[in-house]
A and B are shown apart, each in its own frame.
Chain A
Amino acid sequence: MTLWVNLLGMGLIMLIVWWFWLSRPRAQQTVGDAPVTVLVADGVYTPSRIEARAGQPLMLRFLRKDPSPCAEKVIFEKLNVSAELPVGKPYQLRLPPLVPGEYVFTCEMRMYRGSLVVK
């Protein structure tokens, strides 16, 4: 029994490391001609991984449903861009043309996390 518990513990740790740090979700949506709407609700941005083309201005729409103050701001730290999201109304966030790379966007406390992958 003890052996099994220990093995199970080790397996769990490996699973945590793999799931949260090593693997990444696939892009759920690509910014094309129409802006992507990011839903801010229940502790997650949906979609949480967005792809976009490099070198052209982007428009992201944020729709915040979560009234808790945690969800109030969305911050693109690398870009020094931040916005305050109104509850229940779409907010259009305009981004300048970007060079390829991954741009993480989070709430103030980094509990909401998403990434914009520019290719």
Chain B
Amino acid sequence: MRNPSHQSAQGHDPIRLSIAGMSCAGCVASVETALRAVPGVCEATVNLVERTAAVSGEVDSVELVAAVRAAGYDAAELRGVEDEEEKQAVESAHYRRLVRKAVAAGIVGAPLLVGDLLGWLPSVSSGDGRWFWLAAGLATLAAMAYSAGHIFTAAWKAFKVHNANMDTLIALGTGAAWLYSMAVVLWPEVVPSLAQHAYFEAAAVIIALVNFGAALEMRARGRTSQAIRRLIGLQPKTARVVRNGEERDIPLAEVGLDDSVRVRPGERIPVDGELIEGQSSVDESMLTGEAMPVMKQTGDQVVGGTINLTGSFLFQAKRIGRDTVLAGIVEMVRRAQASKPSIARLADRVAAVFVPSILIISVITFVAWYDFGPAPAVSFAIVTAMTVLIIACPCALGLATPISIMVGVGKAAEHGILIRNGEALQQAARLTTVVVDKTGTVTEGRPAVTRIVCLRDNDENGVLQLAASVEAGSEHPLAAAVLAAARVRDLPLSPLEGFEAVTGRGVAAHVQGKRVLFGNRQLMDERGVAVSAADAQMDALAREAATPMYLAVDGMLVGLIAVADPLKADARAAITRMRALGLRVVMITGDHRLTAEAVARQVGITDVIAQVLPQDKAARVAELQANGAVVAMVGDGVNDAPALAQADVGYAIGTGTDIAIESADVALMSGSLHGVADAIAVSQATLRNIKQNLFGAFIYNIVGIPVAAGVLYPLFGVLLNPMIAGAAMALSSVTVVSNANRLRWLKVRGVAA
């Protein structure tokens, strides 16, 4: 059955590396020496022209790359992100094999089943009947060997290592049915005449159903990894590389470090690198969820998998293969998909003891029917014991959580939300409070001049020009805002004399013979400038969350310039969504209370924790937690790392393609606060889905097993047909997978994305 082509892969294909930084034959020797020194390497050869190395041996590429880097060069493995096609080919071959097995068992089982139901089949005890049943038994055996051979082998191997699984149950159930039936056919006299019935059709039909169920499950599971496939599919198959002044298309896996790659409009960027010629705008939305195209110029970083929109450019490959951002995202999503939240623990604990427990229940069922059942007791005993084995489904239990996590994490990744582990997802669904950092989260994090007030017979440009001139030497963020505003208005700066920066106050300087002061109220007070005339305007500005600064010339107040950190356009809408999800939203900031409250008012936040030093943010989060809140912290992931780590779930916002933020449980690639609401919505939906799955799987087994054992018989005289049990079992895992797949249709964003 096994595809022979895969056998060869066991042999050791050489690992190929791209090496950067080699200039001479001496480099070749030192790289080769470094590679050969790695334990497990049989042979290493370096090609200076291609700048590649081929290494064979029992070794991991990560170690080789580390060795080359330690020797002072750069290296990366030459490979594409992944070959999904190969995996899909293997899976579809397996699917077809399962369907063939189901059909083969069905061909034997179906006629026997129909004949039995219609009463066309001869009795086992009649002379000719015995020959018919003997033939039927042998046909069933053949079908079992072909269609369930893998199940029996697996059951036996598991048994040898003291393990029992799904295969054990099916093998025992159908095996017992076949053995009992064969015994009835060969020695009908040992069982009472009423019990002389063969169950070959049950064995065959159950095996057909089990295979069919496995095939359906396989189909459904293929869809659960769609998100990963979509991500991998972002990478083009080929790249246009310029080597020796000549452009040619080469397979992606051949693109080496420092290769110059040409990208034309409309093409996907193949690997990560730095733009070296030309300029263009690039659509990065498929990775970051950020809809606005990004302008790229010489020296800017470009990311593999994104689409070049307008211009043609040349870039130098800096990260290839496993090191690209895209590969990192895929890896992170995979890892999260495989991690289990604590909610799965109960199911796992049950699953661990499940199969042996079922075996015991089955034995008890047999004995109970044998002891207390009506005639023919042995017949009832064998059917019920078999039905118990068949109906029990550990798969549905074990699958309930991971399959939903798989779809949920993938769904989030499609929206630029990278969830680090399943536990974060579970915690996110329990959140009561969201703490948002002000700067860079609610606001853009880049202060800008929002208003200029003229207090004398001068104009806005005059005030701004003077302020910008004195601020030219300053490095304060407010100065940057003033200078940027002056640049936008094309205002020329005047030369300064006697520049003086007054820490925490502002600046003073002489401009064209005039004494200019620019700073806060304290500066004015200290230098004897009367400012009370502007009090009304100052209060108005403070209420707008702006930081106002005074401009004085020769001791006279001439103007005010307000600098504020503008709100993100969609902050208010996103916060409204969070509140609609039942969350209390709290803003935390180091700013003055008045400013903080003004910002909060504009976005609809009522709870503000202001004047918090950066190092105290974590403590404030801990206080909220001590009061019983389950807290999410949203920040930029750099300055507020301790608070992110302290929170039950930490969200790093606006990480862009810099996804390796360790302190956060969730990285939001886009800068929009909607990402947080999206992440929480996905988490809640996923947890709901897991609970449905777990509930379904538990209830199925809790109800199914006693019914199969025949507890309803004394009351209502009903017994479960083993074939119905087989169908139920096959459908139970398919149902779990299909339910998880419903998550794919989840509408994540209320407003248009």
Contact = CB atoms under 8 A, between A and B. Distances in A.
Interface in B1-43: 2-3, 6-7, 9-10
B165 A21 contact: no
A98 to B, nearest CB: 19
Interface string B432-454: 00000000000000000000000
Contacts of B351: 109-110
Interface string B213-240: 0100110010000000000000000000
Given A13-B364, A43-B157, A89-B9, A109 B164 contact: no
A61 to B, nearest CB: 9
B163 interface: yes
A113 B353 CA distance: 12
Contact of A20 (B62, B153, B154, B163): B163
Contacts of A70: 395
B359 interface: yes
Contact of B90 (A35, A49, A87, A92): A87
A63 interface: yes
A16 interface: yes
Interface in A44-99: 44, 46, 48-49, 59, 63, 65, 67-70, 73, 75, 77, 80, 82-84, 86-90, 92, 94
B662 to A, nearest CB: 14
A32 B358 CA distance: 39
Interface in B358-402: 359-360, 363-364, 366-367, 370-371, 394-395, 397-399, 402
Majority SS of interface residues in chain A? Answer: mixed
Interface string B155-168: 10110111111110
B271 to A, nearest CB: 22
Interface string B453-479: 000000000000000000000000000
Majority SS of interface residues in chain B? Answer: helix
Greatest chain A CB density within 10 A among B90, B217, B398 is at B398
B340 interface: yes
B348 interface: yes
B7 A109 contact: no
Contacts of A2: 370-371
Contacts of A6: 367, 370-371
A58 to B, nearest CB: 13
Given A17-B360, A20-B355, A34-B58, 8 more contacts: A9-B366, A25-B162, A42-B154, A67-B91, A69-B91, A90-B9, A109-B399, A110-B398
Interface of A: 2, 5-6, 9, 12-13, 16-17, 19-21, 23-25, 34-35, 42-44, 46, 48-49, 59, 63, 65, 67-70, 73, 75, 77, 80, 82-84, 86-90, 92, 94, 108-113
30 contacts: A5-B370, A13-B364, A16-B363, A20-B359, A42-B154, A43-B154, A43-B167, A48-B161, A59-B60, A63-B10, A67-B91, A67-B93, A68-B94, A68-B214, A77-B348, A84-B334, A87-B6, A87-B87, A88-B10, A89-B6, A94-B60, A108-B402, A109-B351, A109-B395, A109-B399, A109-B402, A110-B348, A110-B351, A110-B398, A111-B394
